[in-house]
């Protein structure tokens, strides 16, 4: 038995195992490469889908921006129209101011008070006049305070004058027109 040489057989088995190893290694590498290419293609496909979604969202965002721009334009036009309406309402209200003022002044001015000038600026009315007694000016102030469209009466000056035959006290008074926008809206 010592004459049997097993080395060539072992070499043949080793060569066969090496072939199988390299074949399995090549098949595994090929499978791994195929799997990697397949996964890479799948990921590329997912990326393309996501980019298409992103592009769709960007297009829709641009469309919404255009719509929002139109909405902002409409809002500014609405604000301009409301400002015009308020201006027209204010003009309509002020149109009748002098008539209303002259209609109500005889009720507001008590006997013994004589007005020499009446000046209207914006919402402020400046009155200059003469009175026989201070309490009559106080009565006029109370009537202005009780008025529904006049407010904040304030005496700026009052002094005795030296005119004859009757001694009259001169006064200057300011008062405001109350805010009548609610009346106009109603």
CA distances for 133 relative to 127, 158, 163, 175, angstroms: 17, 11, 15, 20
pLDDT recorded at residue 6: 65
Angle at 53 between CA 51 and CA 57, to 5 degrees: 115
Q: What are the sequence ranges of the domains in the chain?
A: 8-75, 96-185
**In the predicted model, what is the mean pLDDT of residues 124-128?**
89
What pLDDT does residue 5 have? 66
In whole angstroms, give the CA distance from residue 19 to residue 59.
59
pLDDT recorded at residue 185: 42
CB atoms within 10 A of CB 3: 4
Tell me 54's DSSP state.
H
Please give the pLDDT value at position 141: 87
Q: Tens digits of per-residue pLDDT, 87-110? A: 998 888 777 777 888 888 888 888
Tokens read off for 102: 């002259």
The angle at the Cα of 106, spanning 103 to 108, to the nearest 5 degrees, equals 105
pLDDT attached to residue 182 = 44
Greater model confidence, 9 or 51? 51
Question: Distance (Å, rounded) from C-alpha 88 to C-alpha 181?
Answer: 12
Model confidence band, residue 77 (pLDDT cutoffs 50, 70, 90): very high
> Is the domain 96-185 a CATH 3.30.1360.100 member?
yes
**131-185 residue pLDDT tens:** 888 888 888 888 888 888 888 888 888 777 766 666 788 889 888 887 654 444 4
The string of pLDDT tens digits covering residues 12-52 is: 888 999 999 999 999 999 999 999 999 999 999 999 999 99
């Amino acid at each position: 038995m010592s004459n049997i040489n097993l080395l060539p057989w072992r070499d043949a088995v080793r060569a066969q195992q090496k072939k199988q190893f390299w074949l399995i290694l090549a098949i595994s590498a090929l499978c791994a490469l195929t799997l990697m290419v397949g996964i890479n293609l799948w990921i590329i496909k997912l990326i393309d889908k996501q980019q298409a979604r992103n592009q769709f969202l960007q297009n829709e965002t641009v469309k919404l921006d255009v719509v929002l721009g139109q909405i902002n334009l409409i809002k500014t036009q609405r604000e301009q129209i409301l400002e015009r309406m308020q201006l027209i309402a204010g003009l309509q209200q002020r149109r009748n101011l002098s008539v209303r003022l002259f209609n109500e002044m005889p009720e507001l001015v008590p006997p013994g008070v004589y007005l020499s000038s009446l000046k209207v600026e914006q919402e402020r009315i400046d009155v200059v006049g003469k009175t026989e007694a201070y309490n009559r000016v106080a009565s006029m102030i109370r009537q202005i305070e009780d008025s529904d469209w006049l407010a904040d009466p304030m005496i700026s000056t009052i002094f005795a004058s030296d005119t004859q035959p009757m001694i009259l006290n001169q006064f200057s008074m300011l008062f405001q027109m109350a805010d009548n926008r609610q009346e106009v809206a109603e």
